[in-house]
Amino acid sequence: MKSIRPLPACLAALALAFGLAAPLGAETRPFRFEELARVQRVGAFSLSPDGRWIAYGVGTPDLAGNRTQSAIWLVAAQGGAPRKLTSGEKRDSDPLFSPDGKRIAFLSNRDGSSQIYLVDAGGGEAAKATAFPTGVNGFRWAPDGRSFLITADVFPECSDPACITQRLEEREKKTVKARVAERLLFRHWDSWKDGMRTHIWKVPVGEGAPVNLTPGDRDAPPFEVGGSMDFAVSRDGKELVFAANPDKSEALSTNWDLWLRPLDGTAPARNLTEGNKAFDGSPEFSPDGRSIAYRAQKRPGFEADRFELMVLDRATGRSRSLTPNFDNWVEEIQWTPDSRALYFTTHVKGKGGLYRVEVSGGSPEEVWNEGTVSQFSLSPDGRQVFAAASSLVRPAEIYAFPSRADRRGGARRKATAVTRVNDALMSQHTLGVASRSVKSADGKDLHAWVVNPPNFDPTRKYPAILLIHGGPQSAWTDSWSYRWNPQVFAGYGYVVYAANPRGSTGFGQEFVDQISNDWGGKVYDDLMRQTDDLVSLPYVDKEKVGAAGASYGGYMIAWMAGHTDRFRAF
């Protein structure tokens, strides 16, 4: 049975708050590449300790310069006119309020490498706070505000920045530029490791020498797709918990463990999760210091296993799952101020929602499922959520809504937009999307998003594109994309069908598992079923259907090229 479902009716009530475009039917400008390049990108944000202010990054693409410039902005948490704190032609990003709320630290490449800069929350000139030889990958404030905890790529044999600088200078003087790799994982995407390891360093805000907190020939924390720093500092500033893989064959292992060490160096790091030979990461101390929440997988060596939300009782050393029956992946996690519950993001049936679960037990409670939440923070009293969220019809903005949803959907009705960075641009376009479902050969529900061309006329015939996502354990979700944006394809006159076949996340772990060792079997059959569904639409020209994909999507395109002739173009 085939069905097409419009977006939920509650979206109409959210239109003003969420900044959705006008209903389909009105004349609108096509949304094409040039429009996508004009979208300003709301980046990471930070809520002030008193909950009154939000600092956030905004990136502005510069096509002529082949770059994206970004600056730090400040806005009242309850909304209002934003104020620009930094300016220039470089990239300022990832702001973090100091523990006393008086200063904002952020990353910038204005002097070449990525370093931490400081600016007063009230405004003024930014001052450089670090000069680490290899740059700063990520950072957190120490609770006392007197130092930073940074991650940086370093030579494992070096115990101080001077040694790192010397090694870099020696390398630069070498006339032979060939790289020698003696272990796997020597490059992540387009970045070479060059014999370096990622370590956590404690760097004073003022005078003082940086201290390596995770020395040795290992990545601590390891590289993780998605950018998590995988370390946390206790609220009293005395302890550090971080992830590291103790196995020798890191390329074949997912055995991340959590390690705990005192920040004063009086004791070595201690393995907290040695018993689990699969992933343990993303640690967060509870505000009362009694527990550590983290994410874990159960199957060693399987990077696409379900991520569960775990809590380790520090008094007993025992861990337990808070999501044993929750069948999708737990992503970002955050404690409530009273340490009694945790919030987490996840993907469920194409939506990137926010959930709450009590530490005492019970099923997770859905708080938000409109669009996709990419980052969130709880207010100091725990009663409000501030979230960066986007959808297939709207780039990311920051929103505020109650932290608990009532049975009538009250949290959704009360959502308010804190930022409106792209209102002027998006008001020129009418963007729509629909959710569609069809049965697989063995009775599974196969989900897809359908985006029609602008000024859509159901009496016409349109060419169509089947979009295949990468991963392969990933999904097309109700979120904005700057790489593969269905609205851009639709802007050129295509009906776009973004398919979520077997292997897609958010539809239960069994659905994810069924792509393992079968990249071209059930998935291909699913996609053929979904193609049947696509061409059954009365406004689709069956003779003008193409398919597109990258990464695993590119693999499937190659597979299709050898198995079917139903597509006119790949």
Q: Provide the residue range defining the domain that includes 99.
A: 40-129
Residue 20 pLDDT > 70 = no
Residue-wise pLDDT for 383-439, tens only, equals 999 999 999 999 999 999 999 855 455 445 578 999 999 999 999 999 999 999 999
Task: Look at residues 100, 129, 158 and tell me which one is the last residue of a structural domain.
Answer: 129
Provide, rounded to the nearest whole percent, the portion of the chain with pLDDT above 70: 93
Q: Is residue 73 part of a domain?
A: yes
Residue-wise pLDDT for 535-563, tens only, equals 999 999 999 999 999 999 999 999 999 99
Q: Is residue 528 part of a domain?
A: yes
Least Cα distance to 236 among 199, 258, 263 occurs for: 263
CB-based contacts of 540, cutoff 8 Å, min separation 6: 461, 462, 463, 464, 495, 534
Among 156-170, 215-229, 328-342, which is the least confidently predicted range? 215-229
Question: What are the Cα distances from residue 507, in Å, to 301, 371, 448?
Answer: 22, 16, 12
Distance CA 85, CA 57 (A): 10
What's residue 88's pLDDT?
Answer: 81
List beta partners, residue 562: none
Mean pLDDT of 16-26: 39
Coil, strand or helix at 128: strand
Q: Is residue 175 part of a domain?
A: no
The answer to whether residues 480 and 511 touch, using CB atoms and an 8 Å cutoff, is no
CB-based contacts of 377, cutoff 8 Å, min separation 6: 45, 46, 47, 334, 385, 386, 387
Q: Is residue 331 part of a domain?
A: no
The answer to whether residues 457 and 1 touch, using CB atoms and an 8 Å cutoff, is no
The CATH number for 519's domain is 3.40.50.1820
What's residue 187's pLDDT?
Answer: 83
Confidence of residue 193 (pLDDT cuts 50, 70, 90): confident
Among 3-7, 126-130, 339-343, which is the least confidently predicted range? 3-7
DSSP 280-321: EEEEEE-TTSSEEEEEE-SSTT-TTSPPEEEEEETTTTEEEE
Task: Look at residues 129, 158, 173 and tell me which one is the last residue of a structural domain.
Answer: 129
What's residue 120's pLDDT?
Answer: 98
Residue-wise pLDDT for 55-95, tens only, equals 999 999 998 889 999 999 999 999 999 999 999 889 999 99
Coil, strand or helix at 479: coil
Question: What are the Cα distances from residue 387, in Å, to 70, 500, 538, 559?
Answer: 20, 26, 39, 39
Q: Is residue 542 part of a domain?
A: yes
Residue-wise pLDDT for 127-165, tens only, equals 999 999 999 999 999 999 999 999 999 999 999 999 999
Confidence of residue 497 (pLDDT cuts 50, 70, 90): very high
CB-based contacts of 390, cutoff 8 Å, min separation 6: 371, 372, 374, 396, 397, 479, 480
pLDDT mean across residues, the chain: 92
Supply the Cα-derived Rg of the chain in whole angstroms.
24
What's residue 228's pLDDT?
Answer: 60
Residue 3 pLDDT > 60 = no
Q: Is residue 271 part of a domain?
A: no
Q: Is residue 448 part of a domain?
A: yes
Residue-wise pLDDT for 248-289, tens only, equals 888 889 999 999 999 998 999 999 999 999 999 999 999 999
Task: Look at residues 92, 109, 129 and tell me which one is the last residue of a structural domain.
Answer: 129
The answer to whether residues 537 and 356 touch, using CB atoms and an 8 Å cutoff, is no
Residue 7 pLDDT > 90 = no
Residue-wise pLDDT for 305-320, tens only, equals 999 999 999 999 999 9
Number of domains in the chain: 2
The answer to whether residues 530 and 491 touch, using CB atoms and an 8 Å cutoff, is no
What's residue 25's pLDDT?
Answer: 43
DSSP category for residue 358: E
Question: What are the Cα distances from residue 409, in Å, to 13, 352, 375, 502, 543?
Answer: 11, 17, 21, 31, 44
Mean pLDDT of 472-494: 97
The answer to whether residues 101 and 121 touch, using CB atoms and an 8 Å cutoff, is yes
What's residue 209's pLDDT?
Answer: 95
